[in-house]
């Protein structure tokens, strides 16, 4: 499980400058639990393919994290990892994953993984590098992109397919690519495991981590920026994203479009 932060702006700006020192410090404080790696995906121009940097180190202890969040970009996705039990802490398992001009970071757990792997065509499965369910989720999305009219529809189809197989799973994700910052807000009836609750309770993290861990929110700090983030950090004026939906932020003009996962 993980924490997610996405930023879109009309002109290149860094994540640090966009959200401010207080919000970024609150985000970094989450490494008390989410210290199993970090990653940043970014695009300098609207049509760029994302550039991705990942690490298996804690963001709080890795100076590269500070550098990555201070680089100017039109769109960025930042991820802090809390490794699912049994999955290795290694760069290949750090999010965001990137391929085919798109990057994705996931917050959730898709178990058992066998049904997800069975959906992947051999040509797609052969591109996997790590052992996470999240990378396989991303692979399924890429598989749908070949037939979908656009990236949002590919995301919606992949999430809808997984929702049928995993009705209780958190499929929350942030994606960057094709001129968009996309948020999947689909955590259904996901709940923290007892051992996760115990671990969080032993820290001084905000109560939201126990009460509403899987929600995603959106904020407009000013007319030139949009921020999407997990609960539990920051003092921005947040609004909840609609449940079981895919929200797309255009990097060209910051317009926001929301579609339900289950199309009529």
Q: Domain range spanning residue 187?
A: 2-260
136 has pLDDT over 80 = yes
Digit-coded pLDDT (tens) for 240-262 = 999 999 999 999 999 999 999 98
Q: Is 226 helix (H, G, I), strand (E, B) or coil?
A: strand
Handedness of CA 74, 175, 82, 241 (dihedral sign): positive
Span between the terminal Cα atoms of the chain, in Å: 31
User: Which has more confidence, 154 or 89?
Assistant: 154
CA–CA gap between residue 172 and residue 77 (Å, rounded)? 13
CA–CA gap between residue 214 and residue 2 (Å, rounded)? 9
Whole-model pTM?
Answer: 0.93
**Residue 178 zone, left/alpha/beta (φ > 0; ψ -120 to 50; rest):** left
Q: What is the CATH number of the domain that holds 31?
A: 3.60.20.10
Asked whether the beta carbons of 168 and 110 are under 8 A apart, the reply is: no
Work out the burial of residue 235: count CB atoms within 10 Å of its CB; fewer than 13 is exposed, 13-18 middle, 19 or more buried: exposed
Element (H, E) at 83: none
The pairs formed by 161-170 with CB atoms below 8 angstroms and a separation of 24 or more are 161/119, 162/110, 162/116, 162/137, 163/188, 163/244, 163/261, 163/262, 165/115, 165/116, 166/110, 166/111, 166/115, 166/116, 169/108, 169/109, 169/110, 169/111, 170/1, 170/107, 170/108, 170/109, 170/214
Residue located via tokens 């994290």: 65
68 has pLDDT over 70 = yes
Report the range of poorest mean pLDDT among 26-30, 38-42, 133-137, 196-200. Answer: 196-200
Those residues whose C-beta lies under 8 Å from the C-beta of residue 32, and which sit 6 or more positions away, are 203, 204, 205
Asked whether the beta carbons of 158 and 146 are under 8 A apart, the reply is: no
Element (H, E) at 167: none
User: Which has more confidence, 86 or 170?
Assistant: 170
CA–CA gap between residue 37 and residue 28 (Å, rounded)? 12
Q: How far is CA 262 from CA 145, 155, 190, 247, in A?
A: 17, 12, 18, 13
Confidence of residue 179 (pLDDT cuts 50, 70, 90): very high
Pairing state between β 256-260 and 97-99: unpaired
User: Which has more confidence, 194 or 142?
Assistant: 142
Q: Is 213 helix (H, G, I), strand (E, B) or coil?
A: coil
Q: How many domains does the chain have?
A: 1
């Amino acid at each position: 499980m993980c924490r997610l932060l996405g930023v879109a702006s009309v002109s290149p700006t860094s994540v640090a400058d966009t959200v401010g020192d207080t919000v970024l410090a609150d985000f970094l404080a989450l490494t008390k639990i989410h210290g199993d790696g970090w990653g940043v995906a970014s695009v300098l121009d609207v049509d760029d393919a994302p550039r991705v940097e990942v690490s298996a180190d804690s963001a709080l202890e890795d100076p590269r994290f500070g550098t990555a969040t201070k680089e100017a970009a039109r769109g960025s996705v930042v991820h802090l990892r809390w490794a699912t039990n049994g999955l290795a802490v290694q760069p290949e398992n750090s999010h965001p994953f990137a391929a085919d001009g798109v990057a994705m970071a996931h917050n959730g757990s898709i178990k058992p993984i066998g049904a997800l792997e069975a959906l992947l065509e051999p040509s797609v499965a052969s591109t996997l590098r790590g052992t996470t369910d999240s990378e396989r989720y991303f692979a399924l999305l890429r598989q749908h992109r070949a037939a979908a009219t656009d990236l949002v529809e590919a995301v919606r189809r992949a999430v809808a397919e997984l929702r049928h197989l995993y009705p209780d799973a958190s499929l929350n994700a942030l994606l960057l690519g094709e001129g968009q910052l996309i948020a999947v807000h689909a955590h259904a009836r996901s709940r923290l495991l007892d051992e996760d609750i115990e671990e969080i309770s032993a820290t001084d993290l905000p109560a939201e981590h126990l009460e509403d861990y899987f929600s995603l929110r959106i904020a407009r700090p000013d007319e030139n920026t949009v921020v999407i983030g997990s609960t539990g950090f920051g003092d921005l004026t947040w609004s909840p994203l609609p449940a079981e939906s895919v929200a797309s932020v255009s990097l060209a003009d910051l317009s926001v479009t929301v579609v339900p996962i289950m199309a009529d």
